[in-house]
Chains A and B, each alone.
Chain A
Amino acid sequence: MSSAKSITLVEEVVLLALDDHSGRLRPMPVLAFSYVLAGAALSDLALAGRIDTDPSQLMVLNPEPTGDPLLDDVLKTLVDGPTGKTTAYWLTKLSQDTRQIEDTAIDRLVERGVLKREERKLLWVIGRRRYPTIDDHERVEVLTRLGQLILSEDLPDPRDAILISLLTGSHLALRIFAGPTYGARTERIQTLAQMDLVGREVGATVNSIIEAMNRAMPVGM
Chain B
Amino acid sequence: MPDSFSLSASRQGSVTVLALTGRLDLDGSREFDRQIKAMLERKDDRIVFDCAGLTHIASLGLRSLLAAVNNSGKSGGRIVFCAAPANVAQIFTIAGFEKLFTTYPDTATAVASFD
Binding site for B on A (CB under 8 A): 46, 49, 52-55, 59, 61-62, 154-158, 161, 191, 194-198, 200
Contacts and interface: CB of A to CB of B under 8 A. Distances in A.
Given A46-B59, A54-B58, A155-B100, A194 B26 contact: no
Given A62-B26, A158-B67, A54 B73 contact: no
A158 B69 CA distance: 11
B58 A158 contact: no
Pick the most buried of A52, A53, A59: most chain B CB atoms within 10 A of its CB.
A52
Contacts of A155: 66, 69-70, 73, 100
B63 interface: yes
A54 B59 contact: yes
B98 to A, nearest CB: 10
A198 B95 CA distance: 11
- Counting from the closest, the 7 A-B pairs by CB-CB distance are A194-B96, A54-B58, A158-B63, A155-B70, A52-B60, A53-B59, A52-B58
Contact of A52 (B59, B66, B94, B99): B59
Contacts of B96: 191, 194-195
Interface of B: 25-26, 56-60, 62-63, 66-67, 69-70, 73, 91, 94-97, 99-100
B63 A197 contact: no
A103 B91 CA distance: 35
B100 A157 contact: no
User: Main SS of the interface on chain A?
Assistant: mixed
Nearest to B63: A158
Residue from A62, A154, A158 having most chain B Cβ neighbours under 10 A: A158
A154 B100 CA distance: 9
A157 B95 contact: no
A156 B59 contact: no
A77 B62 CA distance: 25
A62 B29 CA distance: 14
Contacts of A191: 96, 99-100
Contact of B58 (A59, A154, A157, A194): A59
Given A156-B66, A157-B70, A52 B100 contact: no
Contacts of B66: 155-158, 161, 195
